[in-house]
Amino acid sequence: MAVLLDETTRKQTAREACLLLNEAIRELVIPLRLHALTENLPEGPVDIQYLSAVRHAVLQGTIIAVYRLKETRSGFIGWLMTDAELRALGFAPVEEFIGVDKWSHFETVRHQYAGHASASKASKSQPARLIAPAILGKAMRETGLKNLKAFLLRVVA
């Protein structure tokens, strides 16, 4: 059962949750449309830097929106409705969409693309280090983000 909140807090939480859900939905639909722009290009020279930049932005936007959805469910809606009620509405935890056993891989990708690009922080005696390519590649494969179009189609469905 959802935790009881006073009526003022409940209404404020519901308003904020609606705002965040609307944002997340918009942010999850746009990447698929942007990705399509990088696939069906007219014949002729292709600016690979443009394509790379757009696909990077699509991946970054997708990751941010998926994580925002997780935060909205756990930080707002979870206070208003029970897990059973949310599941009945088709809103299972986002970790289950990614794969509970793969969530840590999603967080690795999120850290790289939407957080800080470093695996370790700089200190007075050592510079920061990037996430190792093998670790990032495995995380991309495990989460399904390596095939971004398929991932986006799954998100939108």
Task: Convert the pLDDT of each residue in 99-129 to its tens digit.
Answer: 999 999 999 999 888 877 777 788 899 898 8
Task: Convert the pLDDT of each residue in 13-62 to its tens digit.
Answer: 999 999 999 998 888 888 888 888 777 666 556 677 778 888 889 999 99
Closest by alpha carbon to 113, among 151, 77, 74? 151
Task: Convert the pLDDT of each residue in 58-87 to its tens digit.
Answer: 999 999 999 999 999 999 999 999 999 999
